[in-house]
Amino acid sequence: MEDFKPGYLELFQTKELFKRIEILNQALSSCQLCPRRCKVNRLKDEKGICKTGRLAHVSSFGPHFGEEAPLVGTNGSGTIFFTHCNLGCIFCQNYDISHLGEGYPVEDEELAEIMLKLKRMGCHNINFVTPTHMVAQVLRALPMAIEKGLDLPLVYNTGGYDLVSTLELFDGVFDIYMPDFKYSDPEVAKKLSDAPDYPEVAKSALREMHRQTGDLITDEKGIARRGLIIRHLVLPENLAGTEEAMKFIASEISKDSYVNVMDQYHPAYGAKGFPVLNRRVTTQEFNDALNMAKKYGLHRLDGYI
């Protein structure tokens, strides 16, 4: 693993990366990069559901020690939190960033510089948080960072509402995919994220991400190099559809998937208007969720390996 090189370096050398950038940037002129398909001209700063035009908006960046263990290592995951979101869940745990728009616009050169700063801080990876609506900007900035020495794995840390047709353009760019798998039930997805197609979209996205990168592999120190990490936030009253989610991951992705079953749900933003969401998850509910994962043969559970 010592000689590990992220995939994007080869795409840069062969100039394939520039073809992908051109396609993504052109796509901004009538944006259908995600399932919302707003068709706004973001190159002219028109805004769709994600409220993001030509430039990326960054809320904050820095080494993060609260991510999954293989991303954090000893020096932290180099997170870049993007502003706004293409999903807009009513219980968003980062609603000040995603709904209230906390953040500032950055030119591509500044975004490249942020990546390089994170490398200088010793981070093990560059972790783009909520990147779906910022992918053109990320890829536009990438060659500038590569020219100045960026060689860390890139993490695509997404809510999972991603189109396969867009993900195909990232083949070889992101070494690590970290999608949520939020809901199994279209009705719940409609109610909580106004996205009834979420379960089907996310399932297709997970298949494509796994096709590109496979199961998570780590180096001799346990630090992630390549592959898929799946997050599942347990919701009160089993609203997340945990059993179906675990069954899908085990049977259609891989039993060797690295899965983070998360217990940190707390009522935030619009959740207080939904009695069922207006409480934390009980210990019993969380243990039931973990047992579901184990029941279907998932054995790489973050925090329980």
Residues that bind ligand SF4 (CB under 6 A): 31-34, 36-38, 40, 48-50, 86, 133
Q: In the complex with ligand SF4, which residue's Cβ is closer, 49 or 235? A: 49
Query: CB nearest ligand SF4: which residue?
Result: 48
Give me the least distance between CB of 84 and ligand SF4, in Å please. 8
Give me the least distance between CB of 49 and ligand SF4, in Å please. 4
- On the 0-12 / 13-18 / 19+ scale of CB atoms within 10 A, 283 is exposed
Give me the least distance between CB of 196 and ligand SF4, in Å please. 16
Distance of alpha carbon 135 from alpha carbon 105, whole angstroms: 15
Encoded tokens for 120: 């200088």
Q: In the complex with ligand SF4, which residue's Cβ is closer, 34 or 261? A: 34
Pick from 105, 112, 111: which is nearest to 144 by CA? 112
Q: In the complex with ligand SF4, which residue's Cβ is closer, 70 or 159? A: 159
Distance of alpha carbon 231 from alpha carbon 32, whole angstroms: 25
- On the 0-12 / 13-18 / 19+ scale of CB atoms within 10 A, 142 is buried
Q: Any idea which residue has 């693993």 for tokens?
A: 1
Give me the least distance between CB of 50 and ligand SF4, in Å please. 3
Consecutive H or E run containing 258: strand 258-262
Q: In the complex with ligand SF4, which residue's Cβ is closer, 131 or 227? A: 131
Q: Using N-to-C axis directions, what is the helix angle for 16-27 and 135-147, rounded to 10°?
A: 150
Q: In the complex with ligand SF4, which residue's Cβ is closer, 135 or 150? A: 135
Pick from 64, 93, 89, 121: which is nearest to 262 by CA? 93
Give me the least distance between CB of 232 and ligand SF4, in Å please. 23
Q: In the complex with ligand SF4, which residue's Cβ is closer, 72 or 129? A: 129
Q: Are 247 and 254 in contact (CB under 8 A)?
A: no
Give me the least distance between CB of 1 and ligand SF4, in Å please. 35
